[in-house]
Amino acid sequence: MWLRSLFCVAILLSSIVAQNYANDSAVKIFQQYIQINTTSGNDLTPAVNFWLKLATEQGLYTNVYWFTDGYPIVVIKWPGLNSTLGSIMLNSHMDVVPADENDGWTYPPFSGYLDNNSVIWGRGAQDMKSVTIQYYEALKRLKARNITLLRDVYMTLMPDEETGAENGMVPFVASEEFKALNVALELDEGTSYDLPVSPVFYQDKAVWQIRVDCHGVATHGSSFAVLNTTAIGKCSNVINTFLALRDQEYEKSLGADITNSGSYTSINLNKINGGTANNIVPQIISLVFDVRLATTVNETLFEAQLREWIRQAGDNITLTFLQKDSQSPATIVGAANPYWTAFSKAASTKGFIVLPTIPPGSTDARFMRSAGFPAFGFSPMPNTELLLHAVNERLSVKTFLAGIEVYEQIIYNLANLPGEETSVDPSVYLYYTSQ
């Protein structure tokens, strides 16, 4: 009998808890934000309006910039006491990768569904609508506590992180509008981790996307053209050398520390195009490779090596860079960087164990570092299955709310760093690793 009533109490309690979460204002706006379908390429006006409304509720100054039609960048200013001091830029992106309900989602990807276990479902739950709401809620709570920050804090919301940032972070960082923000430090996205730790990204690998076009003789499908004179023969030579590099680097990756994906170059052949008819030896074959350079790679020498391999693979083969990042510097994660000290102390105060990491993929933060600004990538999601870009992307409310608390402390520490403790030149907190 007592067991049964205990059970009833437990059910009652858990339903009360779920109810409370359903009425939590942070949870509500998180759900609403997920419900706005910001799949890459969609009209972002509803997301922009959503943020302008939230900013207006807090009496904040906002701006929307377009460097390309259809790609709005939202900037929300949370003013501090002294704008002469470098500001803290809290960056996130509005866009999400596609999600199709028919791919096996338990709850629809744009539902923001809160289930009975207090988990919020939907595309963007981890990447990275959660973080944008956490920035906002943390700042709102600091304001409600009447805590004044010394430095200005800006929330910046980008339109196209998932598709290369060509219309977002890239032109923004080069703009006068960005210069006017007087940024000292940027925070950007990190990742979830299925362990009780949170990675903090301090460097990103350079992304090279390379198209190789092999031109060869076109002839009858029944003939034996000398293989090395055909598009297929030439491209197969290219594939062999590039994938031999892949094998070598794969071996390196096996020995790599989990916190340092910068120690190897990844290379994958991700597209093959060509052919006109089933019975014609094709004139052109196109290959697209996705390469992420090890952080120590000398880009000049590496490009020369690729070109040499292509030269050896046969004549009339062209190489085109679809994307070619320069190596970007690393942010100092040690006592020499007061922003790191402030950040890591805030995290540990709130029980977060942070792990300086170079991720295998890359984020918008690399454009900031390349422009001379230190940046940390952090999404507070420890003990959370990695579901960025995955089916059934979701986040527990408990983790989401703990993330707001840690950002409150992080923003407090960073935005109150006295001017005497930091250099006026933010680039002193960066270092280059390519040789």
Ligand X SMILES: *[C@@H]1O[C@H](CO)[C@@H](O)[C@H](O)[C@H]1NC(C)=O
Per-residue CA distances from 198 to 122, 218, 380, 403 (Å)? 21, 54, 6, 11
Q: Which is nearer to ligand X, 174 or 301 (CB)?
A: 301
Name the burial class of residue 193, with classes exposed (0-12), middle (13-18) and buried (19+) by CB atoms within 10 angstroms of its CB. Answer: buried
- Among ligand X, Zn ion, none, the one that 323 touches (CB under a kind-dependent 5 to 8 A) is none
Q: How far is the CB of 388 from Zn ion (least distance, A)?
A: 7
Instruction: Lay out the site mask for Zn ion across 120-149 (x = CB under 5 A, - = otherwise).
Output: -------xx---------------------
Q: Which is nearer to Zn ion, 128 or 310 (CB)?
A: 128
Q: How far is the CB of 125 from Zn ion (least distance, A)?
A: 12
- Among Zn ion, ligand X, none, the one that 128 touches (CB under a kind-dependent 5 to 8 A) is Zn ion
Residue nearest to ligand X (CB): 419
Question: To 5 degrees, how large is the angle CA 158–CA 397–CA 105?
Answer: 75
Q: Which is nearer to Zn ion, 125 or 128 (CB)?
A: 128
User: Which DSSP symbol is given to 346?
Assistant: H
Q: How far is the CB of 179 from Zn ion (least distance, A)?
A: 25
Q: How far is the CB of 89 from ligand X (least distance, A)?
A: 18
- Among Zn ion, ligand X, none, the one that 280 touches (CB under a kind-dependent 5 to 8 A) is none
Q: Which is nearer to Zn ion, 132 or 331 (CB)?
A: 132
- Among Zn ion, ligand X, none, the one that 240 touches (CB under a kind-dependent 5 to 8 A) is none
Determine contact, residues 290/268, Cβ cutoff 8 Å.
yes
Residue numbers annotated as active site: 95, 161
- Among Zn ion, ligand X, none, the one that 127 touches (CB under a kind-dependent 5 to 8 A) is Zn ion
Determine contact, residues 127/109, Cβ cutoff 8 Å.
no
Instruction: Lay out the site mask for Zn ion across 188-227 (x = CB under 5 A, - = otherwise).
Output: -x--------------------------------------
CB half-sphere exposure, 400, CA atoms < 13 A: 29
Q: How far is the CB of 97 from Zn ion (least distance, A)?
A: 8
Q: Are strands 183-188 and 266-274 parallel, antiparallel or unpaired?
A: unpaired
Sign of CA dihedral 257, 259, 263, 269: positive
Q: How far is the CB of 167 from ligand X (least distance, A)?
A: 17
Taking CB under 5 A as the binding criterion, the range among 12-20, 25-33, 185-193, 267-275 that sits at the site for Zn ion is 185-193
Q: Which is nearer to ligand X, 241 or 341 (CB)?
A: 241
Determine contact, residues 426/185, Cβ cutoff 8 Å.
yes
Site residues (vs ligand X, CB under 6 A): 15, 19-20, 23, 37, 39, 42, 82, 84-85, 110, 115-116, 146, 148, 215, 228, 237, 283, 298, 300-301, 312-313, 315-316, 419, 434-435
Q: Which is nearer to ligand X, 67 or 107 (CB)?
A: 107
Q: How far is the CB of 295 from ligand X (least distance, A)?
A: 11
- Among ligand X, Zn ion, none, the one that 42 touches (CB under a kind-dependent 5 to 8 A) is ligand X
Please tell me the distance from the alpha carbon of residue 424 to that of residue 435, in angstroms, as a whole number. Answer: 28
Which residues have CB under 8 Å from 10's CB, separation 6+? none
Determine contact, residues 363/189, Cβ cutoff 8 Å.
yes
Total residues belonging to the chain: 435
H helix runs in 297-426, sequence order: 299-313, 338-349, 365-370, 397-415
Please tell me the distance from the alpha carbon of residue 169 to that of residue 173, in angstroms, as a whole number. Answer: 6
Please tell me the distance from the alpha carbon of residue 149 to that of residue 139, in angstroms, as a whole number. Answer: 10
Q: Please identify which residue in the block is written with the tokens 């990103």.
A: 204
Q: Report the 10 Å Cβ neighbour count for 434.
A: 18
Applying CB under 5 A, the residues found at the interface with Zn ion are: 127-128, 189
